[in-house]
Amino acid sequence: MSGKDKMEQLEKIFESRELNVNMGPQHPATHGVLRLVLDMDGETIVKVTPYVGYLHRGIEKLGESLSYYQALPLTDRMDYVSAMSNNIGYCVAVEKLFDIEAPERAKFIRTIVGEMSRIANHLLWLATHALDIGAMTVFLYCFREREWILDLYEMICGARLTVTYPRVGGVRNDVPQEFLDSLWKFTDEFPSRILEYETLIDQNRIWLQRTIGIGVISAEEAVSCGMTGPTLRGSGVTYDIRKHMPYDAYDKVEFDVPIGTAGDTYDRYRCRMLEMRQSNNIIRQCIEKLPVGPVMADAPKFTLQPKDKMMPITHPTEALAYIIDEKVCKGCGMCLRACPAKAIFGEKKKPHTIKQEFCLGCGNCFVTCKFKALKLIPGGKAMSEEQLKELAAGPMPEEITKAAEYMVRHFEFVKKGPKVPEGEIYVATEVPKGELGFYFVSDGSGKPFRMRVRAPSFIHAGCLPRLCVGHLVADVIANIGTIDIVLGECDR
């Protein structure tokens, strides 16, 4: 064998070719169900192809089938890390569409909870980002403070994750004084806690090596890619919707917008750290300036009125029993179809009966009945069937008739929605991840004709190939962390 042949043979054996590696969707470092297909030359990334959509629930399609009030809880399920901000984004957009304005106090409360969710989100981001890169302790420290914020959430609305606290036209309920006291204590202590995280990683040599010069993106490119939020500001672009298009109480508080210069992972990290301090400041200012007054806009045509106004009834709603008056019932079967629990029995053109043990007390039948054959009996759940029948035959007390009327109005209001003028609107708000936009097209009915969610995570996930190419595999993890994506929001 000649030398040339031998060389060829050796080349064949040690032939180098691109390697395809599949990462995710069930990978702990991809922050959810993100799948990446990496084309690699040795350990260097040549091409990245992200695959999203594993968490697609069709929130836009669902939103088009529900009225403006019913779609609010869906927004919690998008970015579940900062549900409060998503709710605020939705409410601000719908308020603009209805042309109503929340009262001052509600605006300040929304600003407070919005900034709280920004801190909670950035803490979770820092925790997981540091964990991915290899700093375990930061994770535990961050979750300690995040827990505190979630406990504060619980104090105002009873929920920790999917809060649905803001409402169209204000907030659900006023905040208690003990919440404000506790939050004030938190803001007193929080800056020292940020210092704690920074002593751990800010000048840490491993941290600096893993973040400086990784995932660099220039300002022009970042704007062209549609990046927003701290991810964009790390590149030195001063785009913050809280300053550019102020909503809620952001024009009444003073705060700075931190920006970076290099546009790498370290600058974006610094931006978020400084942003947490600014959020802390905003919360303090809001508590100091918090005005007194109502928390729901006075627009009965567009907003849900307080429960005691809607249902002036002294009895607990759980104890209400519904019963069909056999003399009035024509047997049309409307209530039969409307009942979600299938508690109504009976044949066509014969009076129906309600089985009390199945009845949920939702009132669907009451609203659908055209002949007013249904009667409400307070405290009826504890009575026997004979007693109920006896009561049904007699006239209803006036208090109950009035309450029932209110309830029907409330029911129809939520189900059908208010009458909205025709038009279209795009309103953006600054959520922790970037710009969350809602685009509504209204056709005059109570449901949006088209509801579009501009999710920042979706755009940022699309930028991932740009950030990763040319770096090593280990830096892909740092890049996924630095763009701060939540796949629930990305896939909607």
Partner 1 sequence: MAVTEVRLSIHTPGLNPKDISEKIKEKFPDQVIDVAEFRDQVSVIVKKDQIVPICKYLHDDPLMSLDHLQDLTAVDYLKKKDVRFEVVYNLYSIRYRHKIRIRAQVPENDPKISSVVPIWAGANWHERECYDMFGIVFSGHPDLRRILMPEDWEGFPLRKDYPLIGPEFEKDWPGFVEVVNKAKELKEFEWEG
Q: Using the rule CB under 8 A, is 99 a contact of partner 1?
A: yes
DSSP track, 301-359: TTSPPPHHHH---SS-GGG-EEEE-TTT-----HHHHH-SS--EE--TTS--EE-TTT-
Angle at 410 between CA 405 and CA 414, to 5 degrees: 150
444 forms part of the interface with partner 1 (CB under 8 A): no
Say how far apart CA 190 and CA 145 lie, in whole Å.
8
Asked if 237 touches partner 1 (CB under 8 A), the answer is yes
Radius of gyration over every alpha carbon of the chain, rounded to an integer in angstroms:
28
The residue (of 257 and 310) whose beta carbon lies closer to partner 1 is: 257
Closest CB to partner 1 among 52 and 183?
Answer: 52
Considering only residues 198 to 217 of the shown chain, the ones binding partner 1 according to CB under 8 A are: none
- Total residues contacting partner 1 by CB under 8 A comes to 60
The tally of CA atoms less than 13 A away on the side-chain side of residue 47 is 6
Position 101 contacts partner 1 (CB under 8 A) = no
Pick the stretch among 59-67, 188-196, 325-333, 371-379 that binds partner 1 (CB under 8 A). 59-67
- Closest-CA residue to 45 (of 476, 481, 470, 475): 470
Q: Which of 262, 290 has the CB closer to partner 1?
A: 262
Smallest distance, partner 1 to C-beta of residue 275, A = 10
Which one among 257, 287, 290, 472 touches partner 1, defined by CB under 8 A? 257
Task: Say if residues 434 and 227 touch (Cβ distance below 8 Å).
Answer: yes
Are 47 and 39 within 8 A, CB to CB?
yes
Q: Please give the Cα distance from 373 to 350 (Å, whole number).
A: 13
Q: How far is CA 357 from the centre of its chain?
A: 36
If one asks whether residue 9 binds partner 1 (CB under 8 A), the answer comes out as: no
DSSP state of 28: G
Number of Cβ atoms within 10 Å of the Cβ of 229: 26
Q: How many of the other CB atoms lie within 10 Å of CB of 442?
A: 21
Cβ neighbours, 10 Å, residue 167? 23
Count CB-CB contacts under 10 A for residue 199. Answer: 10
Comparison of 20 and 261: residue with beta carbon closer to partner 1: 261
Q: Pattern of binders to partner 1 over 140-179, x per CB under 8 A?
A: ----------------------------------------
In whole angstroms, how close is the CB of 373 to partner 1 at the nearest point? Answer: 24
79 in contact with partner 1 (CB under 8 A)? no
Q: Shortest gap between Cβ of 386 and partner 1 (angstroms)?
A: 21
Residue among 345, 358, 390, 405 that touches partner 1 (CB under 8 A): 358
Q: Of the ranges 92-100, 294-302, 307-315, 403-411, which one interacts with partner 1 (CB under 8 A)?
A: 92-100
Cα distances from 250 to residues 74, 352, 439, in angstroms, run: 25, 57, 22
Contact call for residue 256 and partner 1 (CB under 8 A): yes
- With CB under 8 A as the contact rule, the residue among 307, 342, 348, 350 that binds partner 1 is 342
Site for partner 1 in 258-297 (CB under 8 A): 258-262, 266-267, 270-271, 274
Told to check if 77 binds partner 1 by CB under 8 A, we report no
Nearer to partner 1, 99 or 405 (CB): 99
- Does residue 225 touch partner 1 according to CB under 8 A? yes
- Of the candidates 47, 49, 48, 55, the one whose C-alpha atom is nearest the C-alpha of residue 26 is 55
To the nearest whole angstrom, how small is the minimum distance from the Cβ of residue 280 to partner 1? Answer: 14
Which segments within 150-203 are labelled E, that is strand? 166-167, 170-171
Q: Which residues bind partner 1 (CB under 8 A)?
A: 52-53, 56, 58, 60-62, 65, 96-97, 99, 221, 223-227, 237-240, 243-245, 256-262, 266-267, 270-271, 274, 342, 358, 421, 423-426, 428, 435, 437, 439, 441, 443, 449-450, 452, 454, 458-459, 461-463, 491-492
